[in-house]
Structure 1
Amino acid sequence: MILAGVFLCFLELTGAQEVDKNQTTLVTPEYILPCYKSDPEINKCLRNTFNHLRPYLKTGISDIEVPSIDPLKINTLIMENGRGPLRVKASFYNITTTGASNYSIGQIKTDLDKYIIELGVVLPRIEIRGKYDVNGNVLLFPVRSKGDFWAIFLDVDGAAKIHGKEYKNEEGVRFMRIDKLFIDFKLKRSRFRIRDVINHGNLLGEAMNQFLNNNSEEIIREMKPAATASIARHFKGFLNAAFVKLPLQLWLPDA
């Protein structure tokens, strides 16, 4: 979710240029380092742009309605895993994530003729808090749990791949719309804690905390397909809502 949020902010910022009615005058704000499709070092340029954005993304930019990514707030994410020993539907809401502004950009690869953008992001530490509601089965045992959750992820390696398509509005202005968004991640360490309001204060509630931490790698592996799909669905809609404000000329001037 952090990776997609960072990418959204980048796209909004690279499009934040003022254009007169004839679209002949461009004014570039201080937080933008423009990149050009014809640049043979376009991937290096985009990487520099991401790094330049870091302090602005941390505080947010009110004039273009880009909120702070630290903390990053998400209303709802729903994940459903129907295969394997962990078959659950998990709803997470009122989510607050901290640590995203400490990102560093890894490799960037683009094919801008096809509107394909791939990028990697490294995050040293991500802390997530919120509320959850889980129904399902762990192994052969039914599970019903609801309450507050807290999680820490260390040394997160994230990746995103965007497949875009060009379209024109009624005025003939060209835009890019996201057709497909793929997200992946891996991490070295994690720690979980829940406060189960259904089972809180009894042996089952504490046993669930122990199970989460003793089996965190297996749980993440089982839930990863559902998690990445849910995050991608959420941010695909979010990104496309932003793209309607971003003519190609603004964030890719020579496209």
Structure 2
Amino acid sequence: MQPLAWTSTLLLAAAALWGGARADADTPEYILPCKRRDPDINSCVKRAFNHLRPYLRVGIPEISVPPIDPLLMPRLSMENGNGAVRVRAVFGNITTRGGSNYTVTSVKADVQNYWIDMGLQIPRLESAGNYEVTGNVLLFPVRSQGDFWAVFHDVAAVVKLRGKEVEAGGRKYMKVDKLLSDFSVGRSRFRVRDHLNHNNVLGQAMNHFLNQNSDVIIEEMKPAASRSISSHFKDFMNTAFLKVPIDVWLHDA
């Protein structure tokens, strides 16, 4: 029950942007290459990511990038052991809509060291799927399993990518060594249907509690959500980056 697609959108964009070109073919229309020595490299990277938006909406089959609207995730788990919300949550069959309406608002890139920091905004995300939660929320024990729906407005995110150069077959590639992410939500709304307790009163009480305390819950679960999503997409990005030499997507001249 968190804005799953904001980070997904940005990371899928990175994989498509710098994982789609081939050295033996013309640059695909969805890629705007950047030059390593461009004095305004930040603007180039920002422009390239925003250029990807219509292509990511429908997916790019030739490089195995699926559509991001809706974005489908089979499973996402997270655990928070500190603060007022101490729970372990597992989400499954997640469908998130609205991610293709992203805008990259800021970029700070150090292409010599393969560091990229990005700011991202999405006006609205809607997620649905199933869930299983166990733990304690504000001292109350919680054990629930069922379906969830959530909507998030005015999502703002920051993603920090840290890469390193590796060599294979006489060519140089970039490997994503670390991904860090953070986000904020303007407002949100939740709805759950509990199957475990078979109690409509309990389900109504949980819905009321979630909506009345959504700010607290999001803030408490944010570190766990960020770690889980970043780990999930780090592997995805490396699948793309390690296929294409650096000199294909980052020109020296």
Per the normalisation by structure 1, the TM-score is: 0.93
Deviations along 1:14-34, one digit per CA (max 9) or x if unpaired, are 3322333xxxxx511111111
Deviations along 1:173-216, one digit per CA (max 9) or x if unpaired, are 11111111100000110000001101344321211111000000
- Cα distance in structure 1, aligned partners of 2:72 and 2:142: 27
- Cα distance in structure 2, aligned partners of 1:3 and 1:115: 22
Which structure 2 segments of 5+ residues have no match? Answer: none
Letter in 2 for 1:19: A
Letter in 2 for 1:2: A
Letter in 2 for 1:12: A
Instruction: Give the % identical residues.
Output: 54
- The residue that corresponds to 2:108 in the other structure is 109
RMSD: 1.5
- Cα distance in structure 2, aligned partners of 1:119 and 1:214: 31
Q: Retained in 1: the 8 A contact 2:6–2:155?
A: no
User: Is residue 2:17 matched to residue 1:13?
Assistant: yes
Instruction: Tell me the SS of whatever aligns to 1:198.
Output: coil
- The residue that corresponds to 2:119 in the other structure is 120
Instruction: Tell me the SS of whatever aligns to 2:244.
Output: coil
**What does 1:29-178 correspond to in 2, within 5 Å?**
29-169=28-168, 171-178=169-176
Letter in 2 for 1:122: Q
- Cα distance in structure 1, aligned partners of 2:22 and 2:173: 16
- Cα distance in structure 2, aligned partners of 1:105 and 1:140: 39
Q: Retained in 2: the 8 A contact 1:15–1:250?
A: no
- The residue that corresponds to 2:207 in the other structure is 209
- Cα distance in structure 2, aligned partners of 1:178 and 1:133: 31
Higher RCO structure, 1 or 2 (CA under 8 Å, sep 6+): 2
- The residue that corresponds to 2:229 in the other structure is 231
Q: Retained in 1: the 8 A contact 2:20–2:240?
A: no
- The residue that corresponds to 1:4 in the other structure is 7
Bigger mean CA offset, 10-19 vs 157-166 = 10-19
Bigger mean CA offset, 126-135 vs 54-63 = 54-63
Question: Structure 1 residue 157: deviation in Å?
Answer: 0.5
Instruction: Tell me the SS of whatever aligns to 1:83.
Output: coil
- Cα distance in structure 1, aligned partners of 2:7 and 2:174: 17
Equivalenced residues, count = 249
Q: Retained in 1: the 8 A contact 2:97–2:126?
A: yes
- Cα distance in structure 2, aligned partners of 1:219 and 1:200: 24
Instruction: Tell me the SS of whatever aligns to 2:47.
Output: helix
User: Is residue 2:247 matched to residue 1:243?
Assistant: no
Which structure 1 segments of 5+ residues have no match? Answer: 21-25
